[in-house]
Chain A
Amino acid sequence: MRAAYLLKRFGLLLAVLWTAATLNFFLPRLTPRNPIRERIVQLATSGGYLEQGIEEMVKAYEAKFGLDQPLWKQYLRYLGDMVRLDLGYSLTAFPKTVMELIGEVVGWSIGIAAVTLLLSFLIGSVLGALIAWPKSPKFLQYLVAPLMTISSVPAYIFGLVLIYFLAFRAKIFPMMGGFTLGTVPDGSFAYYMDVLKHALLPALSVILVSLGGWALGMRGMMVTVEGEDYMILAEAKGLKSNRLFSRYAVRNALLPQITGLGLALGYLVTGQILVESLFGFPGIGSLLNRSVFVYDYNAILGVTFMIILSVGVMTLILDLIYPLLDPRIRTGEGK
């Protein structure tokens, strides 16, 4: 891997981050909405009573948050803050910082998103490979239609159905939360089992829906690979079916899937916004949803920036490791 290639990729990442940060800064400011006023008024009106001096209070807090400064000054300070990953104070949870808010929830999102992603990837890919493999049992062929149907259903709709039948009616799973609410997390085995139990239903709604995508993608690639010359040659050489399936077909068909997995990993921190909110799961999706709901300007910008950062970094990592994963790719080499 040449240094120029690395530099180019890093440069691209920086350009993406700067562009995203800049858009993040300017886009919300195109609206006439004032987040400080909205928050103060929201708190006041939620109590039904509008106290005197709201405008004065708004001005005082604008000064406190630096929103009374000229735009270019705010922008420069913001860029500096972004470099230091200082996402500022949450407007609705002040004096807490946005990083503190993200820190409280990111583990939950990564936990559930990683498990659902890996499980749906593994099950989906294996299922897709088996569906496409001519020597698989015939009944697998019939899975294509239901997989296509389920994969087109949004996960939160599926979640609603699961909650109704499995949590509300059958009472097999809890209806909400990351663990049994009313208990205190003590780090015990029982606690982790409780967390697992609470994660199953949201995970299931995501897995069932995303499984189809992975399976259909894998099936498509398997069909392509099965027609390749090396497959015919291997079969002609008399290799066993299992070896043909695992070492020749699946291995080659899996490469695009891994690319997809790498990119999907970048979205781990985004969590499953709607699914998390639906299940009351305390992840970053719920945080973003709530921040939008209460117009917590800084939290929205912070979470969005972290998402862009994680996707950018994962893309960079993928760019860097792809030549290692696929020997056919050697950027700039052998020319």
Chain B
Amino acid sequence: MARRFNRRDFLAVTGLVSVGAMLAACQPKVVEKVVKETVVVEKEKVVEKEVKETVVVEKKVEVAKEVTKVVEKVVEKQVGIKNVPRERTLVYLFGGSGGTWSDAGNCNPYLATGFTHQVGLAAAIEGLQYYSAFADKQMPWTAESHSYNDALTELTVKIRKGVEWSDGVPFTAKDVEYTLNLCLKWAPQVRNSAYIKDHVKEVKALDDYTVKITFLDPCPRFYFETLTFKFDTGQYIIPEHIFKDVADPTTFQFWGPEKGWPVSTAPYRVSYFTNMQKFLDRRDDWWAAKIGFQKLPEVERFLVLPQVDDTKAAQLSIANEIDACLDLRPTIMKTILETNPAVISHTGKNKPYGYVDWWPNNIGFNDLEEPFKNPDLRWAVSYAIDRDQSIQVAYDGAGSKQPLFFPSYKSLKPFMDNIKDLLEKYPSNEYNPAKSEELMKKNGYAKDKEGFWVKDGKRIVMDMGGWQVWADIGPVVAEQLRKGGFEATYSQPSDWGDRVNLGKVNGFWYGHGGSVGPDPWLSMTIYHSKYVAVTGAPGWSGPWRWKNEEYTALVDQIGLLPMGDPKIMDLWHKAMEIWLRELPSVPMIEWYHRIPMNTTYWTGWPTAENPYLNGAPWHLTCPRILDNLKQVKK
């Protein structure tokens, strides 16, 4: 008779199974495909042989070194990736949340929702041309030159000879032709394709090194605004010989280190990419070094890690474990700079600990609806804000105000000088409570017993909101407005984006990603009437909801003129007079990128003293920063 399976047996079996299951579950699944090449037997043989040989010659120190080298080689062979010492690695912390990303393996730049170049991949992408706003310099890169016809309806781009993709295939005009045609075919599903479709009629490679782009209308800024890499803008050029076989480029991951994907012309290739880290390894066969156009960068590995939080980033920076990260708040920067002598900012150890980004911040309203339909009220809000005080309180003085919506860049200075008279007439940064009060009274408002402006029994409610980036200055300005009689509160609701998008809030914080030079046209288009949607309809491209046909006509006129045309200045002056008179949004502050840059392992960072570029490694200009970094410990 069979023995009964009793409770004790059950418990024992359950325990064993549970432990087994847990051990199995704990096995990490992170080695990915490259590990499949593991040759364990070979590993043992090699180690044994090498150690014996070195022991015979009685060089004990050498033995240790040799063993280390061999083990490194074994690891390299196992995972297909070489070991690179810390002093030849640049460590950069960016993106993700809680220490991980979710887009591991997404290397196709035309994945609309699953790709961003900001998280390190910018180092593996090259542009036809780069522009440094700080040096006010255009740097032709994979393209040598470009020219427009007289009517500005045709653009001819000359591709540099000798440029190669990382798989050895030459980079030609056909790649540019293919990329732009892909955008036309897949509009609006891929990056910037709607704009391209609106303006481009035809793209044709005339030969391997010449591509002609024909426009639907004069498009004098297409090369600069669309095809030149600067900050976060610029069209990615993709390899025709890979993508032509892809049925749907919007779902193609473009990842496969065993195939050499992603293929790129940049000096770095993505060799390892998980949800925890990315390795971008230098390609010693980079075309620019081959043809003597550039030296190989000294950074051998660009290691990109996900950001956990600002505090952790600061701790890692102080401990010299990272070389750069996403910009930090001024108080945190101050702590890092004071604690670690090796860390510098764009302005060294001095305030504002960073450089002016291309993203000036204003406070916006729904200008289509009452009460902020009335420019007087927008001006009243502007006069009620003490910008100097808010910068002092929120940023410990490490900031600056701006009078319009343009960054204070070298090439834009002539334009700002041109409207000095307007800024005197319309002092958009002035703190003047008396003028604010005067405007409110003129429009029939009176203060109630709590000190808030009231008309027809209604207070002016401003549910000011924004992202985390305004958490320091947002509440300060809200308090100033309350003192000025506006019922303002600052919060960061999760649906803040939608509220702005639908025109439901007044007093929202927002930035202007636009002109970086050499002229102000792109920023001016942000207030173009064509972007204005009615309240309740999504209006992301025009959150300010200000409609002025006269201003729009002036912007359109400038858009038809080539950059540098003397007629632009006059049109600009007229447009800015309208803008300042109406004040569709309240100019607030310049946005700063306060990036801690560690000099323990790397020098040559872009700084105020050496402003060859802006220092954000997340921008498309990233590879050109890597070109300039110098290894400290050789």
Q: List A residues at the B interface (Cβ < 8 Å).
A: 31-34, 36-58, 60-61, 64, 90-96, 101, 103-108, 110-111, 114, 163, 167-168, 171, 175-178, 181-188, 195, 276-282, 285-287, 289-291, 293-296, 299, 321, 324-325, 327
Judge whether A57 and B194 touch: CB under 8 Å.
Answer: yes
**Docked pose: A174 CA to B349 CA in angstroms:** 28
Judge whether B501 and A37 touch: CB under 8 Å.
Answer: yes
Contact residue among B30, B102, B105, B252 (Cβ-Cβ distance under 8 Å from A185): B30
A324 with B113: in contact, given A168-B319, A290-B102 (CB under 8 Å)? no
Interface 9-residue window, one of B166-174, B206-214, B304-312: B304-312
Q: List B residues at the A interface (Cβ < 8 Å).
A: 7, 10-11, 14, 22, 25-31, 35, 75, 78-79, 81, 83, 86, 89, 91, 96-106, 111-114, 116, 118, 187-189, 191-195, 197-198, 231-233, 250-253, 272, 274-277, 303, 305-306, 308-309, 312, 315-316, 318-319, 321, 357-359, 494-495, 497-498, 501-502, 511-514, 538, 540-541
Contacts of B30 in A (CB 8 A): 104, 185
**Docked pose: A32 CA to B277 CA in angstroms:** 35
Judge whether B194 and A324 touch: CB under 8 Å.
Answer: no
A47 with B91: in contact, given A33-B498, A177-B99, A286-B98 (CB under 8 Å)? no
Sorted nearest first, the 5 A-B pairs with minimum C-beta distance are A53-B194, A280-B99, A48-B513, A47-B232, A277-B98
Q: For residue A277, which residue of chain B has the nearest CB? A: B98
Contacts of A187 in B (CB 8 A): 31, 35
Judge whether A114 and B22 touch: CB under 8 Å.
Answer: yes
Contact residue among A61, A280, A291, A295 (Cβ-Cβ distance under 8 Å from B308): A280
CB distance from B69 to the nearest CB of A (A): 16
Contact residue among B98, B197, B312 (Cβ-Cβ distance under 8 Å from A290): B98
Contact residue among B11, B26, B31, B103 (Cβ-Cβ distance under 8 Å from A93): B103
Query: What are 26 A-B interface contacts by the 8 Å CB criterion?
Result: A34-B498, A49-B231, A49-B232, A49-B514, A51-B191, A52-B195, A53-B188, A53-B193, A92-B102, A93-B106, A94-B111, A108-B28, A110-B22, A111-B22, A111-B25, A114-B25, A181-B277, A181-B305, A182-B86, A185-B28, A185-B31, A277-B308, A289-B98, A290-B101, A295-B494, A296-B102
Judge whether B112 and A61 touch: CB under 8 Å.
Answer: yes
Contacts of B513 in A (CB 8 A): 45, 47-50
- Among B30, B250, B494, the one with the most A-chain Cβ atoms within 10 Å of its Cβ is B30
A111 with B26: in contact, given A43-B113, A53-B193, A321-B14 (CB under 8 Å)? yes
CB distance from A226 to the nearest CB of B (A): 24
A282 with B357: in contact, given A104-B29, A111-B25, A324-B10 (CB under 8 Å)? no
CB distance from B608 to the nearest CB of A (A): 21
Total A-B residue pairs with C-beta atoms closer than 8 Å? 249
Q: For residue A317, which residue of chain B has the nearest CB? A: B14
Contacts of B101 in A (CB 8 A): 290
**Docked pose: A210 CA to B358 CA in angstroms:** 48
Judge whether A96 and B105 touch: CB under 8 Å.
Answer: yes
A105 with B75: in contact, given A56-B194, A92-B103 (CB under 8 Å)? no
Judge whether A281 and B99 touch: CB under 8 Å.
Answer: yes
Contacts of A290 in B (CB 8 A): 96-98, 100-102
- Among B29, B113, B198, B541, the one with the most A-chain Cβ atoms within 10 Å of its Cβ is B113
CB distance from A264 to the nearest CB of B (A): 13
Contacts of B97 in A (CB 8 A): 277, 286, 289-290, 293-294
User: With contacts A51-B192, A95-B106 known, what are 7 further pairs, Cβ within 8 A?
Assistant: A40-B112, A44-B540, A47-B513, A96-B102, A101-B102, A182-B86, A185-B79
**Docked pose: A61 CA to B105 CA in angstroms:** 20
Contacts of B274 in A (CB 8 A): 104
**Docked pose: A246 CA to B104 CA in angstroms:** 51
Judge whether A186 and B99 touch: CB under 8 Å.
Answer: no
Contacts of B514 in A (CB 8 A): 49
Q: For residue B620, which residue of chain A has the nearest CB? A: A47
**Docked pose: A108 CA to B541 CA in angstroms:** 41
A48 with B231: in contact, given A114-B26, A175-B316, A324-B7 (CB under 8 Å)? yes
Contact residue among B91, B251, B319, B540 (Cβ-Cβ distance under 8 Å from A54): B540
Contacts of B495 in A (CB 8 A): 31-33
**Docked pose: A90 CA to B114 CA in angstroms:** 9
Q: For residue A104, which residue of chain B has the nearest CB? A: B275
Judge whether A182 and B232 touch: CB under 8 Å.
Answer: no
CB distance from A319 to the nearest CB of B (A): 15
Judge whether A48 and B28 touch: CB under 8 Å.
Answer: no
A51 with B103: in contact, given A31-B495, A43-B116 (CB under 8 Å)? no
Judge whether A178 and B233 touch: CB under 8 Å.
Answer: no
